[in-house]
Amino acid sequence: MNPLALAALIGLGLGAGGGWFLTDAILNAEIAQLKADQAQALAAAETLYRERQAAEQQRGDALSAQLAQTETELNQRTLEVTRAVSKVTTGRACLGDAAVRVLNGAPRDDPTVPEAAGASTAESAAIATDTDVAGWIGNAQYQYETCRARLGALIDFETGRPDDRTAQ
């Protein structure tokens, strides 16, 4: 074999082997750096997640406590209204038989419509007294205010949440 061709083959072999060794070392270093960067980014994301989760939990707990206080106040106010209603109403007929049946959703001739809860001025008629109506109104106000407070707390929770798209 020609010594020049032999030298060229040996040079080619050494060059290819050296190139492979150098490329492998560089790529392994880059891969190791990418893995380190990925692990660091994952750790930062986990820390951010835990911080945000703790903040959301604290916000939720504060809103829940505020809602519980509001519901307690509404319950107390409703009890006061209920006591006051019995003092300021007379038990007189307020809504007659036909009106009670319509409000109860029963057909006009339905005998299963229950009698009014309060004292009745008519023996056979299903009526609602002024006490019944005032009690119903007080209960409806309580239920409305409770629902409003709960929806308000949910809205406060959602509108107080940081926007994940802008927070980095």
Question: Which of the two residues, 149 and 106, has the higher pLDDT score?
Answer: 149
User: What angle do the packed helices 3-88 and 130-159 form, to 10 degrees?
Assistant: 160
Res 54 pLDDT > 70: yes
Phi, psi at 129, each rounded to 5°: -85, 170
Beta bridge partners of 128: 95
Among all chains, which residue has been given the structure tokens 């239920």? 143
Res 115 pLDDT > 70: no
User: What pLDDT was estimated at residue 65?
Assistant: 96
pLDDT classification of 17: cutoffs 50, 70, 90: confident
β-strands 93-95, 128-129: how paired? antiparallel
Res 20 pLDDT > 50: yes
Burial letters 5-37, b for 16+ CB under 10 A, else e: eeeeeeeeeeeeeeeeeeeeeeeeeeeeeeeee
Average pLDDT value over all residues in the chain: 84
Residues with Cβ within 8 Å of residue 63, at least 6 apart in sequence:
153, 156, 157
- The residue-averaged pLDDT of 12-18 equals 85
Q: Are 89 and 130 in contact (CB under 8 A)?
A: yes
**Nearest Cα to 120, choosing from 94, 98, 140?**
94
Q: In Å, how far are 100, 102, 112, 114, 143 from 105, measured between CA atoms? A: 9, 5, 11, 12, 20
User: What pLDDT was estimated at residue 68?
Assistant: 96
